[in-house]
A and B are shown apart, each in its own frame.
Chain A
């Protein structure tokens, strides 16, 4: 944040978002957004997994505990998984994660999407929308408290 003044930082809350994407669909969509120079906010850090099935609920919890203001997951559209049915497994996990997060009051900070490799546009728009949404929610209550 070098030159920016602390005041400005206070004014504009810049959320930190962590995203998990599968290698074959959403990661490729993010690449396509790049190839078509589709700008989007710089708030998200993407972690590439080979398949959405690798999404462990612990990853989401850990990200939130680390103080992420938002976490998202995105994989291939249902029925289009590179590994046959990994995204169906992911869908079940997501439902489970939501139940846990609800108990903690954090469920509105976790989003999930299906974005295919040809939807670069959708990826960029999703990043825009997500950043706005998290901005409105404000900083995570866990920010700076744990670790």
Chain B
């Protein structure tokens, strides 16, 4: 059978690809005629997502059902029957990813005036500005250049109609402001906000906006925007002066919140999944992906408002859980062993020009191009009949099989989108896939140049490609077996969850932890945040029991891992026990790093911590809450300075414990001193509850931090505009979280860069996070607080995602050695060692090799040896060594000197 994924946005696409890539049949159901969801409306995201969309559209294991809606669902987990726009589909499990919609905006913010727009429309305006004649950002009402631009945050969220926080708006507003400032530096920007709820990289972006770009962040809930005589007057409260002020702006962007997709209520009705009081699919802190109906998983903005990073992590995680209920029925693409035809000396180049559904044919005179390309030497076949990628692939395959073509030049959409697909087509037809040269006729020609210029450019580009194709060579690709085992480093909640996920998928797991017992950081916790009152110990016990009972998981405690060698699919490492001379050697195909974060930062001396008995930290305070609390005045201080980062759970924990203290002891005075309360998403309700129950929140400026002297906390409250003094019985400090100690060692061993001590995901271009658990080292995945200190639900979703990505890899029987790597001509190499010194991944070694001597045609090896560079398995194909080698002994396959020179000869 298979798995149904409902929703073709970024979450649905991610889930579908993870499943299809590991051999499951996927029915991807999207109500619109196109894939991409809301991401398609964002220029940059569209760019980043397009290769994934192309992959979905051409995936043999995905049955794409566009313009289709789920009408009925019956059956139970393992045997669901779906009726989708009249078609019957049988599946074993279902992933719901219907996404979000934006709220209807009330007229109050001047909405209705053409110059007041919501953020998604503003993205459209930025795109329109790009293609407009002047390239300027202009006001919709009169076409004049925008000089003063305002953003109002929290529109349609953190309000009566929608009391929760929409999580994503703070970051997307910062990104939009940044884009405006980069493109139109003269535009003044004002951002009205309540709290800035950003973490990590986004925090840095906001700081940069304030300091470098001069963006004014104004803390005030704007009561109204008055459109009048060509200006928009924004009224706001100046907190510093305590006065109501007016500001005239040219344009206002309303950073609207995220609501559950409009289709969600109907979807919930059809599938029977429970929704929460906000209309989101109900999930829980300890099972963030499971719905109330077994066999139906949920992910992305259908479960809570969130950013792309969290959405795709949930999507991968949900895919893993859905796969666990399903049977693999399909072959995994790219696993068949190819027998490539012998390519003789005779060049037979075939040129394939795809019309891309008119996109290319509209600007380029294809017949003229064909005529001129046909005249080129060695071009034996030109095809310009195809209009879609699929048609082009069929044409290429028959060209290779029927016409015996041995060089393929494909001109169409960008290779960033389709190079892999075209390579597969060549390989499928028996031609070594590196005898293919791509021409970017759509993005870099048809779309950017006038008709006449485009045709000329197209001819040039094709000539360059045909010439380069002559010098392409077959790159032998070796297959090596994938070791169907995983190594999971870290036995905390993330590590255990990842290990269980991988083990349940049928693979053996080595789970290692430096501690004596499993459980990690959560062992220090007691009651989890939120009204559920779940105990960390119960959550842990369940996981530990499952892990210990699982036969496929080998647990090693009090150990560390050393000497990792190999590449994705085939790693080796040593597990060294503390104080033991015996090492265990293990082999594995994938690795998940889940080292967590440390909470043992000691704010020594701060507020007299360590000396004064009544000064404690939040984690200690949470434990105190379990017992009798005899404190009548409690001051919780958020954002205590120190090394480390502000955890995503930091505010939640402060507000939750303040609320619990107040509930426990209603007469107590509970104060929270803060800079920003970051209770994102549904956690906002805790903040609201706490205020309603009488917890007093006092905001201080970074420049005027609270002081503690003689038992008195004094803080300059920016809302009262005066100093407030509190004499607390108990001071509770919320301290930063720190990276695990092992991170640095692991970072070096696995060659994964760190940021502030935490692991960095694979950088993506454009800058977006579609693969939040993948790293630059293929086959090594990261999750949980090892990436950024996060809440339990996020750690669980992310570790399931890491397990899912690991399983995609482990599902393969074979992997191919990377083709684009460096090779040494040993005869020329003089062993100078330049390459060894500059290789960014230390993949090159100098070895001592015997020098062969040829006498009268007979090769003999005499005693003499010389130093020769050897390219090892780690080569990532950057080409540094090839361009630095002083004797040209080193070359990068597919980018050899002669291949680039060939292009150059026809470039001018």
**A28-B47, A39-B449 known; A53+B765 contact, CB < 8 A:** no
With A36-B127, A37-B448, A42-B454 given, name 5 new contacts (CB 8 A): A34-B443, A45-B460, A45-B907, A49-B879, A116-B765
User: Looking at the complex, which one of B448, B878, B904 makes contact with A59 (CB distance below 8 Å)?
Assistant: B904
> A35-68 toward B: CB 8 Å interface, digit per residue (1/0)?
1111111100111111101111111001100111
Q: Report A-chain residues with C-beta under 8 Å of the C-beta of B766.
A: 28, 32, 116-118
Task: Flag whether B416 is at the interface (Cβ < 8 A).
Answer: yes
21 A-B contact pairs sorted by A residue (CB < 8 Å): A25-B765, A31-B440, A31-B443, A32-B766, A34-B414, A34-B447, A39-B450, A42-B454, A49-B895, A50-B878, A50-B892, A54-B883, A55-B883, A56-B883, A63-B904, A83-B880, A84-B753, A86-B840, A86-B879, A93-B883, A124-B448
**9 tightest A-B CB contacts, nearest first:** A54-B879, A34-B443, A117-B765, A83-B878, A42-B453, A53-B880, A118-B766, A34-B447, A56-B883
State the Cβ distance, A2 to closest chain B Cβ, in Å: 9
User: Looking at the complex, which one of B453, B900, B901, B908 makes contact with A16 (CB distance below 8 Å)?
Assistant: B908
Interface of B is mostly: helix
State the Cβ distance, B697 to closest chain A Cβ, in Å: 37
The answer to whether B753 and A50 have CB atoms under 8 Å apart is no
Q: Report A-chain residues with C-beta under 8 Å of the C-beta of B130.
A: 36-38, 120-121
Q: Report B-chain residues with C-beta under 8 Å of the C-beta of A110.
A: none
The answer to whether A54 and B895 have CB atoms under 8 Å apart is yes
Task: Flag whether B841 is at the interface (Cβ < 8 A).
Answer: yes
User: Looking at the complex, which one of B440, B456, B907 makes contact with A1 (CB distance below 8 Å)?
Assistant: B456
Which of A33, A46, A56 neighbours the largest number of chain B CB atoms within 10 Å of its CB? A56
Q: Report A-chain residues with C-beta under 8 Å of the C-beta of B900.
A: 47, 49, 56, 59
The answer to whether A42 and B449 have CB atoms under 8 Å apart is yes
Distance between Cα atoms of A86 and B895 in the complex (Å): 15
The answer to whether A18 and B908 have CB atoms under 8 Å apart is yes
> B836-847 toward A: CB 8 Å interface, digit per residue (1/0)?
001011000000
The answer to whether B905 and A66 have CB atoms under 8 Å apart is yes
User: Looking at the complex, which one of B447, B464, B878 makes contact with A45 (CB distance below 8 Å)?
Assistant: B464
Distance between Cα atoms of A36 and B47 in the complex (Å): 10
The answer to whether A39 and B448 have CB atoms under 8 Å apart is yes
**A45-B460, A85-B840 known; A50+B895 contact, CB < 8 A:** yes
The answer to whether B883 and A45 have CB atoms under 8 Å apart is no
Task: Flag whether B767 is at the interface (Cβ < 8 A).
Answer: yes
State the Cβ distance, B111 to closest chain A Cβ, in Å: 27
Q: Report A-chain residues with C-beta under 8 Å of the C-beta of B47.
A: 28, 31-32, 35, 117-118, 120
State the Cβ distance, B105 to closest chain A Cβ, in Å: 27
State the Cβ distance, A20 to closest chain B Cβ, in Å: 9
State the Cβ distance, B772 to closest chain A Cβ, in Å: 17
The answer to whether A82 and B765 have CB atoms under 8 Å apart is yes
Distance between Cα atoms of A82 and B760 in the complex (Å): 12
Distance between Cα atoms of A27 and B848 in the complex (Å): 40
Q: Report A-chain residues with C-beta under 8 Å of the C-beta of B135.
A: 121
Q: Report B-chain residues with C-beta under 8 Å of the C-beta of A63.
A: 904, 907-908
Task: Flag whether A30 is at the interface (Cβ < 8 A).
Answer: yes
Which of B461, B878, B903 neighbours the largest number of chain A CB atoms within 10 Å of its CB? B878
State the Cβ distance, B908 to closest chain A Cβ, in Å: 4
Q: Report B-chain residues with C-beta under 8 Å of the C-beta of A112.
A: none
Interface size class of B (residues with CB under 8 A): 35 or more
Distance between Cα atoms of A121 and B878 in the complex (Å): 26
State the Cβ distance, A25 to closest chain B Cβ, in Å: 6
**In residues 98-139 of chain B, which contact A (Cβ within 8 Å)?**
127, 130-131, 135
Q: Report A-chain residues with C-beta under 8 Å of the C-beta of B443.
A: 30-31, 33-35
Distance between Cα atoms of A45 and B900 in the complex (Å): 13
The answer to whether A89 and B416 have CB atoms under 8 Å apart is no
> B437-452 toward A: CB 8 Å interface, digit per residue (1/0)?
0001011101111100
The answer to whether A37 and B878 have CB atoms under 8 Å apart is no
The answer to whether A89 and B904 have CB atoms under 8 Å apart is no
> B553-577 toward A: CB 8 Å interface, digit per residue (1/0)?
0000000000000000000000000
Distance between Cα atoms of A51 and B822 in the complex (Å): 13
Q: Report A-chain residues with C-beta under 8 Å of the C-beta of B127.
A: 36
State the Cβ distance, A124 to closest chain B Cβ, in Å: 7
Distance between Cα atoms of A45 and B884 in the complex (Å): 24
Q: Report B-chain residues with C-beta under 8 Å of the C-beta of A59.
A: 900-901, 904
State the Cβ distance, B839 to closest chain A Cβ, in Å: 10
Which of B44, B447, B461, B907 neighbours the largest number of chain A CB atoms within 10 Å of its CB? B907
Q: Report A-chain residues with C-beta under 8 Å of the C-beta of B460.
A: 45
Distance between Cα atoms of A59 and B901 in the complex (Å): 7
The answer to whether B131 and A18 have CB atoms under 8 Å apart is no
Task: Flag whether A107 is at the interface (Cβ < 8 A).
Answer: no
**A35-B443, A42-B456, A63-B907 known; A86+B43 contact, CB < 8 A:** no
> B878-903 toward A: CB 8 Å interface, digit per residue (1/0)?
11101110000000100101001101
Task: Flag whether B433 is at the interface (Cβ < 8 A).
Answer: no
Q: Which residue of A lies closest to B454 (CB)?
A: A42
Task: Flag whether B739 is at the interface (Cβ < 8 A).
Answer: no
The answer to whether A118 and B883 have CB atoms under 8 Å apart is no
Distance between Cα atoms of A54 and B883 in the complex (Å): 5
Q: Report B-chain residues with C-beta under 8 Å of the C-beta of A38.
A: 130-131, 448
Which of B44, B48, B183, B415 neighbours the largest number of chain A CB atoms within 10 Å of its CB? B44
Q: Report B-chain residues with C-beta under 8 Å of the C-beta of A46.
A: 440, 444
Q: Which residue of B lies closest to A40 (CB)?
A: B448
> B855-897 toward A: CB 8 Å interface, digit per residue (1/0)?
0000000000000000000001111101110000000100101
Distance between Cα atoms of A80 and B201 in the complex (Å): 14
Task: Flag whether B776 is at the interface (Cβ < 8 A).
Answer: yes
Task: Flag whether B286 is at the interface (Cβ < 8 A).
Answer: no
State the Cβ distance, B641 to closest chain A Cβ, in Å: 26
Task: Flag whether B457 is at the interface (Cβ < 8 A).
Answer: yes
Distance between Cα atoms of A56 and B901 in the complex (Å): 11
Q: Which residue of A lies closest to B880 (CB)?
A: A53
Q: Report B-chain residues with C-beta under 8 Å of the C-beta of A36.
A: 43, 127, 130-131
Q: Report B-chain residues with C-beta under 8 Å of the C-beta of A51.
A: 877-880
Task: Flag whether B820 is at the interface (Cβ < 8 A).
Answer: yes
The answer to whether B444 and A47 have CB atoms under 8 Å apart is no
**In residues 585-643 of chain B, which contact A (Cβ within 8 Å)?**
none
Q: Report B-chain residues with C-beta under 8 Å of the C-beta of A68.
A: 907-908
User: Looking at the complex, which one of B444, B763, B776 makes contact with A34 (CB distance below 8 Å)?
Assistant: B444
Q: Report A-chain residues with C-beta under 8 Å of the C-beta of B292.
A: none
The answer to whether B416 and A34 have CB atoms under 8 Å apart is no
**In residues 105-133 of chain A, which contact B (Cβ within 8 Å)?**
116-121, 124
User: Looking at the complex, which one of B50, B776, B838, B892 makes contact with A54 (CB distance below 8 Å)?
Assistant: B892
Q: Report B-chain residues with C-beta under 8 Å of the C-beta of A117.
A: 47-48, 765-767
Q: Report A-chain residues with C-beta under 8 Å of the C-beta of B753.
A: 84
The answer to whether B461 and A45 have CB atoms under 8 Å apart is yes
User: Looking at the complex, which one of B838, B883, B904 makes contact with A18 (CB distance below 8 Å)?
Assistant: B904
Q: Which residue of B lies closest to A62 (CB)?
A: B904
Task: Flag whether B220 is at the interface (Cβ < 8 A).
Answer: no
The answer to whether B414 and A31 have CB atoms under 8 Å apart is yes
Task: Flag whether B675 is at the interface (Cβ < 8 A).
Answer: no
Q: Which residue of A lies closest to B885 (CB)?
A: A56
Q: Which residue of A lies closest to B458 (CB)?
A: A42
Q: Report B-chain residues with C-beta under 8 Å of the C-beta of A89.
A: 838, 880, 883-884
Q: Report A-chain residues with C-beta under 8 Å of the C-beta of B416.
A: 23, 27-28, 31
Distance between Cα atoms of A41 and B47 in the complex (Å): 22
State the Cβ distance, B713 to closest chain A Cβ, in Å: 41
Task: Flag whether B390 is at the interface (Cβ < 8 A).
Answer: no
User: Looking at the complex, which one of B50, B763, B876 makes contact with A80 (CB distance below 8 Å)?
Assistant: B763
Which of B444, B450, B765, B882 neighbours the largest number of chain A CB atoms within 10 Å of its CB? B765
Which of B135, B753, B766, B895 neighbours the largest number of chain A CB atoms within 10 Å of its CB? B766
Distance between Cα atoms of A30 and B44 in the complex (Å): 13
Distance between Cα atoms of A76 and B884 in the complex (Å): 19
Distance between Cα atoms of A58 and B446 in the complex (Å): 31
> A3-41 toward B: CB 8 Å interface, digit per residue (1/0)?
000000000000010100001110110111111111111
Q: Which residue of A lies closest to B895 (CB)?
A: A54
Distance between Cα atoms of A59 and B200 in the complex (Å): 40
Q: Report A-chain residues with C-beta under 8 Å of the C-beta of B457.
A: 42, 45
